[in-house]
Amino acid sequence: GDSVTQTEGLVTLTEGLPVMLNCTYQTIYSNPFLFWYVQHLNESPRLLLKSFTDNKRTEHQGFHATLHKSSSSFHLQKSSAQLSDSALYYCALSDRASGTYQRFGTGTKLQVVP
Amino acid sequence: NAGVIQTPRHKVTGKGQEATLWCEPISGHSAVFWYRQTIVQGLEFLTYFRNQAPIDDSGMPKERFSAQMPNQSHSTLKIQSTQPQDSAVYLCASSLDSEENERLFFGHGTKLSVL
């Protein structure tokens, strides 16, 4: 079945360094929607960005991601981490052709330190 | 717009008791999802309704979990004979059910503690 893999459970970075959180996925069909949600402490998850277009960069609030269907990846990046970026980040997948909606990975906790 | 409303915010039950969790989706949203959130499993899909009809309950533990959506303004998740391993935050989310507008809006969750 369709699934999402986030290999890092915890990423600790020094403020100012670049961020890259990994997300790979598996789908039966080839037209998935990929999403990144962010959850700050004591808040509920909210959408950060999404994409369904192959090889097109999507940006929001300083973060960006590019869907690469050839490698089934949708990694989240930011050029310079800020303390306020510390949060839980979830990658999610929808593939309407297979009837899969909003399936999440296990999440990556990003900890930015001074 | 009050967002997705979940009640109660916290629920404590004894082992073997029943727990009912409530969710009011955003008005006009036709899709409602339930997730269980734990540190180990992350956001674990439980079930999904579209226009009140159950579409996918593949994530529901079949024996003790059930979900309903009797009308467009609320959904319930019921856990019978609760066990300590059911302790988690249960999140409800709603969405406009169209490809272009697909994004989830989450409630604040119900933290269930089974003693």
On whether any CB of chain B is under 8 Å from the CB of A90, the answer is: yes
Per the CB < 8 Å rule, is B107 touching A44?
yes
Query: Does the pLDDT of residue A1 top 80, yes or no?
Result: no
* Average pLDDT of span B71-84: 96
* Average pLDDT of span B41-49: 94
Per the CB < 8 Å rule, is A96 touching B99?
yes
* Average pLDDT of span B29-51: 94
Q: Where does the pLDDT of residue B40 fall: very low under 50, low under 70, confident under 90, or very high at 90 and above?
A: confident
How far off is chain B from A81, nearest CA to CA, in Å? 23
Domains present along chain B, CATH in parentheses: 11-114 (2.60.40.10)
**Among the partner residues B42, B56, B103, nearest to A47 by beta-carbon distance:** B103
* Average pLDDT of span B2-26: 96
Find chain A residues with C-beta within 8 A of B91's C-beta.
44-45
How far off is chain B from A47, nearest CA to CA, in Å? 7
On whether any CB of chain B is under 8 Å from the CB of A89, the answer is: no
Distance (Å, rounded) from C-alpha A11 to C-alpha A18?
12
Question: Of A6 and B2, which is predicted with more confidence?
Answer: A6
Range of lowest pLDDT (A29-33, A58-62, B44-48) = A29-33
* Average pLDDT of span B69-75: 95
Q: Percentage of chain B surpassing pLDDT 90?
A: 87
Among B20, B14, B17, residue whose Cα is nearest residue B110: B20
Question: Of B42 and B1, which is predicted with more confidence?
Answer: B42
Among B51, B48, B54, B41, residue whose Cα is nearest residue B85: B41
Contact by Cβ (8 Å): A27, A95: yes
Q: Which is it for strands A63-66 and A76-78: parallel, antiparallel or unpaired?
A: antiparallel
How far off is chain B from A14, nearest CA to CA, in Å? 23
Q: Which is it for strands A108-113 and A10-14: parallel, antiparallel or unpaired?
A: parallel
On whether any CB of chain A is under 8 Å from the CB of B56, the answer is: yes
Report pLDDT digits (tens) over A2-20: 899 999 999 999 999 999 9
Report pLDDT digits (tens) over A63-106: 999 999 999 999 999 999 999 999 999 999 998 888 888 999 99
What are the sequence ranges of the domains in chain A? 3-113
Find chain B residues with C-beta within 8 A of A107's C-beta.
42-43
A3-113: CATH class: mainly beta
Distance (Å, rounded) from C-alpha B86 to C-alpha B114?
7
For position B1, what pLDDT does the model report? 66
Per the CB < 8 Å rule, is A45 touching B106?
yes
Query: Does the pLDDT of residue B76 top 70, yes or no?
Result: yes
Query: Does the pLDDT of residue A29 top 70, yes or no?
Result: yes
